[in-house]
Structure 1
């Protein structure tokens, strides 16, 4: 079924007052009343207006509807009720029959009337909220605390401090109990499901549970071998570069990758950097090298 935007149907903003909603409803009800309206499709339009007003005139129903709308639904979107969603019964107070309302209305608010309505009128848990947080690679690696600001039409703007587990992977969710939408009629609040995104890092790339980095080295370090300092997310370590190494050679630092029960490795790719010959002496040195080596890099 499709999500219905009741505010759009009545031509009001989501923060409209009860009085504004009532005025909009009365204006549209007069416009589309079957006895006087000459508008095309007036019968269907008055049904839509009645349904929208029935949803928004009741404080509990409007609150529940706003919770769903805060999840990003808009008119025409494919809609399925969240798990365990029961809906607030309407109790027949509008004077309409159940068949006057769409499947969407019934799925959100439940069917009204009789003992069943009273059985559903107890406390109900609030719906969950979903949000996204972007952190840098170092914070995801080490863990820590991040402050986030949430904005939603139900609770307004609020700031939360979130504990980030060490080694959390991009795309994983952190569940914050009780930080979702408030419950109905004394029920508990829902949860906040916070998806973690990780910003790109100029020095390190995450490849599964391995961390990949590029290490610039001098030609003589590559030719003769050397022990060099390598940055990792956990701090600097020493790495032995074997003599005769070429650009593109990959060396492995075991256990220096992404943390976890079985930590990944850091893969260090060597990149030979050649210094510029800026003085006559340096140019002469390169010339002697060319004469000393029988070497063609394209052979």
Structure 2
């Protein structure tokens, strides 16, 4: 593979992931916080799933969507972090072409699924606050299941063209990807062809799916704020708005890095190593922060956690 950056080829059997270009000497140290973050994400999201499954009082739409978010975070982080750590610690840079396309599909599918889940959670908060008496009749278990299925199908359909677009381009210069995972744009920029179709499709997904979800979330919260400001007392307003706090924090940890990473990758003039670090943080931080946010801010989950870990008889 020493000549892989000069050998002519049209269908490489493998790609070489560089990790974080320019920071190769620090890979071992960078991997330590990444490994800790991944371990916290695994523990936190599995704990959320266990608590919701074993606590009947949490069998409500909000917590079903939270479970969906936890599963999404687990798949999203597990599809990238183990390979990332093998690059940083063991210099295992090669990735099979098909494995690269599979990883790309999972990254984009579950990123879109996470966005859709956050949008569904915003709808749940809207119904709970603006139509509280009808919440149980509007968001029944079959409706929640259909919403989850719709989010999953939409995400899969939108992500499916990514590997097909990558496969159709010829790669005649290099198979070295200046990234720590198979990001769509990072791969197609290696192609010896006009890849504007891939770039335009990526922007289409960004704005039509994730952008649309963000818009619907904003509209939901506009209606929620209207309903909150109509409440008679300040305490009632604060208490009602407090039920949205966890969701607002979760939204911030996902959408801000997502849009910043996607737009700077296409239009920004940011040093490459910083760009790659931003992309890694975007994939790593939400899976770690979401269970912490909901564990700290949601009383039902916090109380169940305390009962789970408190000594018996106290």
Q: TM-score, normalised by structure 2?
A: 0.22
Task: Name the structure where helix makes up a greater proportion of residues.
Answer: 2
Q: Which has the higher strand share?
A: 1
